[in-house]
Amino acid sequence: MSILVTGGAGFIGANFVLDWLAQSDEPVVTLDKLTYAGNLENLASLQGDARHSFVQGDIGDRALLDRLLAEHRPRAVLHFAAESHVDRSIHGPEDFIQTNVLGSFRLLEAVRAFWSVLPEAEKTAFRFLHVSTDEVYGSLSPSDPAFAETNRYEPNSPYSASKAASDHLVRAWHHTYGLPVLTTNCSNNYGPYHFPEKLIPLMIVNALAGKPLPVYGDGMQIRDWLYVRDHCSAIRRVLQAGRLGETYNVGGWNEKPNIDIVNTVCALLDELRPRADGQSYRTQITYVKDRPGHDRRYAIDARKLEAELGWKPAETFETGIRKTVAWYLDNAAWVARVQSGAYRDWVATQYGATP
Ligand code: NAD
Ligand code: DAU
């Protein structure tokens, strides 16, 4: 028995693979294209571990998928691979359509071909778990209830539209072909190995480098933050006991405006790595032009997952963010290496020359 994980060298996928192998001996095959966001260093602790195999490749490569499925005969495919950054999707949406829509389609087709000829017992036990996002539901006003699984889809960015499309494909492959699928729609994750183009790691690395902390618009947009390892435990639980064809919202009941997040990061850095001049990192906060089409508020209603499958997050935001800031302080070499030439090009494109 084994599982196939797509996108396992990225932020959440790598945390998932590491947690999986820390808790079970069931082998993992990781398929990852190693885009700018994929980093084999995230999986470095698995080097020489016979339970893990890494394959560099594209989920859009049908021949490779057919080969991998035939060779490893996984009992489940966990689909994390995606282009994941909203700002990049605004600058260049095509990669998002290629990977999130076309790539997911190719993967579904390869998995369907593999699954449809499995012996009956293996066919019944097989699962395709699609990892998706709360952004497919659009944006909430301050008084709206949190997103439930029954909310209608209203994606607003090229990224969320491409993820919504993949969710619909997964749903259709279940409805039409009977493929045994599960979908999770999760809120904003944070934690170790988070690429520093996203809010929390960007603030940590910019603060330590003495650079401006760029807050979009008025900084009052709300996100619902979940520690990444809690997302991983939710995925394991849904894989184990989720009802076929169902979607499960995953969230931490932890809504916060962006400016509060940035202030919290600054306060932790003030405590753990005070600035040489004795001033707070808060003095580096700089309000910048807003993201086009910026969703104002996300919030997840995770009651279905709790009621049906008994899942709850283990971390509070206070414990999770402290661990996260400490991880970045302890892993300066990882941070330095991911801030390659390509990363610097992105920062110049998005923020101009300064930050
Ligand atoms: P990430 O950008 O850190 O990692 C994505 C990984 O996918 C990278 O390793 C990349 O190399 C790989 N990849 C990209 N295109 C590929 C392709 N064509 N073939 C094979 N591999 C490819 O993303 P993440 O934050 O770890 O997100 C993982 C999944 O979780 C995504 O599907 C995302 O939509 C979803 N999600 C993310 C969050 C979040 O807060 N980060 C929240 C909810 C859902
Ligand atoms: O909600 C789940 C989604 O969360 C995932 O599906 C996405 O893959 C993931 O990237 C994340 O999307 P966001 O757009 O919410 O995350 P990001 O970290 O890019 O931004 C979080 C908030 O912070 C958002 O309101 C924009 C704001 N922001 C972001 C950056 C990078 C800033 O104010 N300044 C910044 O420099």
- Measured N-to-C along each axis, helices 228-241 and 11-23 cross at an angle, to the nearest 10 degrees, of 60
Strand pairing report for 255-257 and 222-227: antiparallel
CATH class (in words) of the domain with range 3-194+226-252+298-314: alpha beta
Q: Which residue has the higher pLDDT, 353 or 346?
A: 346
Q: What is the DSSP string of 308-355?
A: HH----S--HHHHHHHHHHHHHHTHHHHHHHS-HHHHHHHHHHH-S--
User: pLDDT band for position 355 (50/70/90)?
Assistant: very low
Residue 248 near ligand 1, beta carbon < 6 Å: no
Residue type, 126: F
On whether the CB atoms of residues 206 and 351 are closer than 8 A, the answer is: no
Give percent above pLDDT 70 in the chain.
99
Residue range 116-132, pLDDT digits in tens: 999 999 999 999 999 99
* DSSP β-bridge partners for residue 188: 225
On whether the CB atoms of residues 20 and 3 are closer than 8 A, the answer is: yes
Residue range 50-67, pLDDT digits in tens: 999 999 999 999 999 999
Q: What is the DSSP string of 99-144?
A: IIIIIHHHHHHHHHHHHHTS-HHHHHH-EEEEEEEGGGG----TTS
Residue 54 near ligand 1, beta carbon < 6 Å: no
pTM of the model: 0.98
Residue range 276-289, pLDDT digits in tens: 999 999 999 999 99
Please give the pLDDT value at position 299: 98
In ligand 1, which atom is closest to the CA atom of 226?
Answer: 40
Strand pairing report for 3-6 and 76-79: parallel
Domain residue ranges of the chain, discontinuous segments joined by + = 3-194+226-252+298-314
Give the C-alpha distances (Å, rounded to integers) separating 335 from 11, 87, 196, 206, 280: 13, 20, 8, 11, 22
Give the separation between CA 298 and CA 223, rounded to whole angstroms: 5
At residue 305, does pLDDT exceed 80? yes
Give the separation between CA 211 and CA 214, rounded to whole angstroms: 9
Residue 133 near ligand 1, beta carbon < 6 Å: yes
Strand pairing report for 255-257 and 188-190: unpaired
In ligand 2, which atom is closest to the CA atom of 291?
Answer: 26
